Amino acid sequence: MTIDNQLGMHARAAARIVRLAEKAKGQVFIEKDGISVDAGSVLDILTLNCPMGCTVTVRAAMAEDKDVVESIERLIKNKFGEPE
């Protein structure tokens, strides 16, 4: 997934991801350039340093958390619900 919003994956966007990741039964991860972090931690997400245009992958440790992964992917695709 490409980060398309102008501010990239900033603290408010990361907090929205965390709220979704907390719904998972297992752990959810966000990966950038081979580095994988816990999607349940704002600080971990921010360490990825994801400006506009970077590519990330969202994955879950448990197959039954597919809906959580899809929700996070929708959030990213919709630019974290932020205006252009």
Cβ neighbour number for residue 84 with a 10 Å cutoff: 6
**Beta pairing partners, 58:** 30
Distances (CA, A) of 22 to 18, 44, 46, 54, 55: 6, 14, 17, 24, 22
Q: Which of 4, 10, 38, 73 is an active site residue?
A: 10
10 included as an active-site residue: yes
Active site residues: 10
